[in-house]
Chain A
Amino acid sequence: MSADITTPAHPSRPDWQWHLGVAAFAVAWWLVYRQLRPLSEWITALLPVERHSHSGEAIAFFLYDVPKVMMLLTLIVFAMGVVRSFFSAEKTRAVLSGKAEGVGNVLAAGLGVLTPFCSCSAVPLFIGFVSAGVPLGVTFSFLIAAPMVNEVALVLLFGLVGWQVAVTYLAFGLGIAIVAGFVIGKLRLEGWLQDWVREIHTGAGAPADIDTAHPGMVDRYKLGIAAVREIFGKVWLWILLGIGMGALIHGYVPEDLMVRIMGAGTWWSVPAAVLMGIPMYTNAAGVIPIVEALLGKGAALGTVLAFMMSVIALSLPEMIILKQVLTLRLIAVFIGVVASGILAVGILFNLIF
């Protein structure tokens, strides 16, 4: 993927061209973004469908939402790619090691959002943290926040459902990571790690010669571009499918279909949503279309958020990976604590809104 980004054969562009390019892109982005609504209406008007018919509604919705979400995603993923280049697992570990619980949990949840993280390196990261003296509960705060609060989920919620829901998701996602990590820390479960993890002493300090050179701003831009390419490669199909489904629902399905099943009035809907979410495993992009569909059919917001958090934060494949470092008892506690947190958020939400 990045193989074509830098080849020493080409003299690289001067830095000011990069800055100018990024600034020009931002301006162009803003100009186009503001015109999306009229543009989509204009294209819909060109098509041989009645604007206020079912298909007209569906098409207008699709033509507006797809470019909107794609543009938001490009901007935010690029920005996050640049921001993340200032952070690394090694630096985060240095900040967190020896931090007291409480403060440590809050920091860990925040850093979980900002540190580059791939769920495939959850195990090495877990061991790296614990062996360097990061408390177990603080490590969990990091590991819960990192996948749950991610920019793809936030952008899609913002673009498709509204900024209020995105902000709420951010706040409660961080909240659950902080509280669940704190509770797990208080339970003093260090003895429930797999034996080899307790005995391990990795050369705790960051390995000597690793890329500690400070990358320049242009390198950071390149990392941002690489992030955009990677995320788009993963999610574009999901977004098309999801918004397509949303468009159909928007155009055709009667509003209150789901009200009885997933509406706020049904007491068992939140627990059911959390339980259903555990075996399901997909990335944020895969679940948002479902979320949008459910909301569109009248499901209650709390129930839908609980479902979404459960799918993203609690997944069987991840548990199987973590089994290598955690005993089953500890995994059970982890699932129990996080699921209770999600449950509480879901029920609270349905009561408030």
Chain B
Amino acid sequence: MKTVKVYGPGCKRCETTETMVRETAAKLGLEVAVEKVTDPKSIAMAGVMSTPGISVDGKLVHAGGLPDAAKLEAWLSA
């Protein structure tokens, strides 16, 4: 099972990103543990400068703006 972290202090885009991750996982029939990281310190420590950021199994795959739906599918199913 993959662990996906969504980095974002809680702006609207970050929430949308989290929803997108959950919905994409459900659509692909994948079980993923989605974790939301909202603490600015932890976000910065992860190397994310523009939010929302996404990491899959500890690897940062995206930072800044909403993720592309097709790419998100690729990250989750890789």
Interface size in chain B (residues, C-beta < 8 A): 33
Q: Does B28 sit at the interface, judged by CB under 8 A?
A: no
Q: Verify A211–B14 contact, CB threshold 8 A.
A: no
Distance of A127 Cα from B41 Cα, bound (Å): 9
Q: Does A191 sit at the interface, judged by CB under 8 A?
A: no
Which residues of A are at the interface with B, using a C-beta cutoff of 8 A? 1-8, 88-90, 93, 116-118, 120-121, 123-125, 127-129, 131, 196, 200, 202-203, 206-211, 223, 226, 321, 324-325
Q: Verify A324–B64 contact, CB threshold 8 A.
A: no
Selected contact of B63 from candidates A7, A120, A123, A210, CB within 8 Å: A210
Q: Does B1 sit at the interface, judged by CB under 8 A?
A: no
Q: Verify A123–B44 contact, CB threshold 8 A.
A: yes
Given contacts A121-B8, A123-B43, A211-B71, 13 further A-B contacts (CB under 8 A): A3-B20, A89-B63, A116-B50, A120-B11, A120-B51, A121-B50, A124-B44, A131-B44, A202-B44, A202-B45, A207-B63, A321-B9, A321-B40
Q: Is the interface of B mostly helix, strand, loop or mixed?
A: mixed
A120: which B residues are within 8 A, CB to CB?
A: 8-11, 13-14, 51
Chain A residue nearest in CB terms to B62: A211
Distance of A90 Cα from B65 Cα, bound (Å): 13
B23: which A residues are within 8 A, CB to CB?
A: 3
Q: Verify B16–A1 contact, CB threshold 8 A.
A: yes
Which residues of B are at the interface with A, using a C-beta cutoff of 8 A? 7-11, 13-14, 16, 20, 23, 40-41, 43-45, 47-51, 59-66, 68-71, 73
Q: Verify B59–A209 contact, CB threshold 8 A.
A: yes
7 sampled A-B residue pairs with Cβ under 8 A? A1-B66, A3-B69, A7-B69, A123-B9, A127-B44, A131-B44, A210-B62
Q: Verify A124–B64 contact, CB threshold 8 A.
A: no
Smallest CB separation, B57 vs chain A (Å): 12
